[in-house]
Amino acid sequence: MVYDFDDLLESVGGMGRYQILHIALIFVPISFFTGYIDVVFKKADANIEQAQAKQQANFAKRRYKQKTFIVGDKVLRYNLHRADRKGGKQTDPWDGPYEVAQVGEKGLYCLINASTKVTLKTKVNGCNLKPFLEYIPEAPSVTPSPDVQIVGVKQEEISYKFSPLTVAIQLAICNNSGGRLVFKKKSGLSGKINKTFKNTSEPHTAKEIEGDGNCLFRALSFAITGEEDQYAVVRSLICDFIACTENIQAELMRKYKVWGTTTEILAAANMFNVNVYVWAKYGPKLTWHIHRPNGEEVVEVSVYLENKAGTHFNVVIRL
């Protein structure tokens, strides 16, 4: 004869479920509980299957969300080596940018380093890629008068003087850093000092800087200390300076390989008290952009950078 354990609970008042079960196991035959135990196990099995299905669906949604790219797309690659080893929390999990050179089968892509143009030996699964969003400065918009017809825009030519950092200025900047920057050697800038050049004059020679996501800070380190290897200190100094002005971007910029922007260039100009010239695109044309430190005092010395593609900074050493 099979009984329902819930009916037994209703018939006995004032005792807890486990007290009744304990007494029943001693005095009542095991067949009494057969129906109740079967129901419990069936419910447990159903709950386990439902939980497993939910976990599998969530994992597949995170892991196998396939992205599609075409040849020529710029992408960032997830650093799987970083995920496998201990530590490295300060390292950017995404490296790049890369260009899609070939679309393979089963969602695999052949990539080329956008800076060095070196092809990766192994293909990368699309689930480990994400689009690279390139920053392109917009040209200022012109609102024409209804009585005026614009037939062309002529870019005004502006003259500057080539005044790179001297050894004395390099030493002064390093000393003002509180010992955090160490002077190594002359930064290698050459050419005629105080030479006049125009805002459309293309740089003659540039020092190639390693393209690892820290190129802006490497370039500033080379211009100030003579070597690239103090880029982490330069990044930290600039972030400290930005943090003092309550800029929320400072914490993000402290991370390794996070690309520098105009905000960090302006901060460097003010902190090191130098002009920073950048050879970059303004609209469709390449031209010099000058970032001056705030204040009424006119600063003569300058750092000259090159950012032709909008993705990498080099140091201009000759005009």
Same domain, 282 and 165: yes
The answer to whether the peptide bond before residue 97 is cis (omega within 30 degrees of 0) is yes
CATH number at residue 177: 3.90.70.80
Res 25: pLDDT = 60
Q: Count CA within 13 A, CB hemisphere, residue 197.
A: 22
Answer yes or no: is 147 within a domain: no
Same domain, 40 and 81: no
For residues 12-34, average pLDDT: 58
Res 188: pLDDT = 67
pTM: 0.49
Same domain, 85 and 199: no
Same domain, 94 and 214: no
Query: Which tens digits make up the pLDDT trace of 155-194?
Result: 567 788 888 888 888 888 999 888 899 998 887 665 567 7
Answer yes or no: is 137 within a domain: no
Answer yes or no: is 146 within a domain: no
% the chain with pLDDT above 70: 67
Same domain, 235 and 281: yes
Answer yes or no: is 141 within a domain: no
Answer yes or no: is 115 within a domain: yes
Q: Domain range for residue 90?
A: 74-131
**What is the rounded CA–CA span in Å between residue 101 and residue 161?**
42
pLDDT confidence of 2, banded at 50, 70, 90?
very low
What is the number of domains present in the chain? 3
**What is the rounded CA–CA span in Å between residue 299 and residue 240?**
23
Same domain, 58 and 83: no
Q: What is the 3-state secondary structure (H, E, C) of 180-243?
A: CCCCCCCCCCCCCCCEEEECCCCCCEEECCCCCCCHHHHHHHHHHHCCCCCHHHHHHHHHHHHH
Res 230: pLDDT = 92
Answer yes or no: is 126 within a domain: yes
Query: Which tens digits make up the pLDDT trace of 107-118?
Result: 888 999 888 888
